Amino acid sequence: MHSLKVLILEDHPFQLMALHQMLNANGVFDVLTAESVESACQTLSRRGRVDIAICDLQMEGADGLALIRHLAESGLAAAVVILSAAEPCVIDSVGVLARQLGLNVLGCVPKPATSLVLHQLLRRYLEQENSTRAPAELPVYPQLLNLTASELAQCKDQWVVHYQPQVNCDGKLVGTEALVRWQHPTLGLLTPAQFFPLIERAGLFDTLTWHVLDQALAFSAQFQTRTGAALPVAVNIAPQLLQRDDFHDQVKAALQRHAVPASALTLEMIETAGSALNEEQLEGLLHLRILGCQLSIDDFGTGVSNVQRLLELPFSELKLPSEFVRGMAQDGRKAAVVAGALIMARRMNLNVVVEGVETLDDLLAIKDLGHPVMQGYFIARPMPGAQLLDWIATRTSAGFKQLATA
Ligand code: C2E
Ligand code: MG
Ligand code: MG
């Protein structure tokens, strides 16, 4: 383990010593210790920035939150570990707060920490350090920042659509989500996070959305020609677009242009606290629903006005975001949120798509709660249309064995 500098805030002398020894056993010898927040702050100002601060919460005087705030303000720790005998939900909430304050939280760990846990946390830190951040992870490439709106619009042909399968609990494909990427000639494949800020700044969000809708419907139609049935596609729509009076006419025209039945199209709306729709816009959405399109609320539960929107608008589906789903097999609280949403959806006659299914454990935990549609890396990552066709062919012939028997 390469030489790291670690601060331990721990007011219990025995536990402090045990942690110190465990760090030494893991090859970490530059260990600073403090038994109070005050002395931790003094040590940091004297000895400078540490790689990791291991932070206890409960102690005489100022509690561990005070150190967390100090670290966030001073930038004196590259990462923190929260280690406490407090209730697990308190420890996790402190982790959430610390992240919100901008800290890199390596882990939220109940006491007593074992040498193995410590080893894993140190490894995680070193992996983060070593992963020379791939350019693909940068928020926005500097060379794209100077593009004018019209130069950006000229790149439209490079905005390609990838499709992520959605399967039911038997592993049967029931739909796909269209997710846009920018296939840049020199920078490679860019994800929405890497270029949406530019699109928004240039006022090109509507252009992008119609472009994606058009490609997704063309793909669905191509699938229809091959197999006789249109491929169900879900397209993400910003709420501002829904608020345009001619929205439903344009969607209807696009469906007709591609001869795709409305039942094959789901419009996924990302929740925002934006203004409510007027009567005409609501009527437009109802037209689309009557026509047979599905209307889905994306990332349900992460915004402020979700439930209100759910009651106001004619949704037919809700999507539970990765945040609730990832790790739910090990986290009873997440499982409770998912279970509650499934019950609510059932009573409201809504379909549910559970996103972010990354592991077999989580998939099994979801299957225990009901039979929602699932989407996530465990099933498949988003992929180009041609690759999806191969994926479907292989899956169909394999009979989704892995999922079906899971
Ligand atoms: P979203 O609509 O909630 O899409 C799901 C995101 O989760 C996608 O990220 C997908 O690649 C990712 N994902 C899928 N499975 C997993 C998993 O198992 N674990 C994890 N951690 N993530 C998973 P992506 O493609 O980067 O898109 C991010 C967001 O950008 C989308 O979130 C959506 O809000 C927006 N977006 C993407 N394409 C479009 C588009 O064509 N139009 C509009 N308006 N927004 C789009
Ligand atoms: Mg979506
Ligand atoms: Mg989502």
Residue 74 domain flag: yes
Share of the chain above pLDDT 70, in %: 92
Q: Grade residue 137 by pLDDT with cuts at 50, 70 and 90.
A: very low
277 vs 249, which has greater pLDDT? 249
Whether 73 sits among the annotated catalytic residues: the reply is no
pLDDT digits (tens, 9 = 90+) for 184-223: 999 899 999 889 989 988 999 999 999 999 999 999 999 9
- Check whether residue 127 and residue 150 sit in a common domain: no
Do 230 and 109 lie in one domain? The reply is no
Considering the candidates 35, 268, 317, 355, report the single residue annotated as catalytic.
355
Token look-up 């707060």 returns 97
Q: Distance of CA 114 to CAs 18, 19, 92, 180, 383, Å?
A: 9, 9, 18, 44, 41
Boundary of a domain, candidates 131, 149, 184: 131
* Distance from residue 320's CA to the centre of ligand 1 (Å): 12
The reply to whether 136 falls in a domain is no
Could you tell me the CATH number of the domain that includes residue 151? 3.20.20.450
Q: Give me ligand 2 centre to Cα 53, in Å.
A: 37
User: How many domains, the chain?
Assistant: 2
Quick check: is 388 in a domain?
A: yes
Atom of ligand 1 nearest to the CA of 377: 18
pLDDT digits (tens, 9 = 90+) for 46-105: 999 999 999 999 988 889 999 999 999 999 999 999 999 998 889 989 999 999 999 999
My answer on whether 257 and 235 are in the same domain is yes
Residues 154 and 42 in one domain: no
Model's pTM, two decimal places?
Answer: 0.74
Out of 42-51, 116-125, 283-292, 323-332, the most confident range is: 42-51
Three-state DSSP class for 196? helix
Write down which residue in 85, 113, 131 finishes a domain.
131
Query: Do 364 and 250 reside in the same domain of the chain?
Result: yes
Ligand 1 atom nearest the C-alpha of 357 is 18
pLDDT at 333: 86
Q: State residue 139's pLDDT score.
A: 58
Tell me, yes or no, whether 124 and 250 share the same domain. no
- 120 and 175 both lie in a single domain: no
Residue in the block written with tokens 């920035």:
49
Expressed as residue numbers, the domain containing 353 is 141-404
In the Cβ-directed half-sphere of 223, how many Cα atoms lie within 13 Å? 25
Domain co-membership, 59 together with 189: no
* CATH number, position 125: 3.40.50.2300
Report yes or no on 241 lying in a domain.
yes
- Residue 125 φ then ψ, to 5°: -65, -45
**Using a 6 Å CB cutoff, which residues line ligand 1?**
164, 179-180, 191-193, 209, 212, 236-238, 268, 270, 298-299, 322, 355-358, 375-377, 382
Q: Are residues 188 and 242 in the same domain?
A: yes
Torsion over CA: 327, 329, 333, 337 (sign): positive
Boundary-marking domain end, from 131, 155, 174: 131
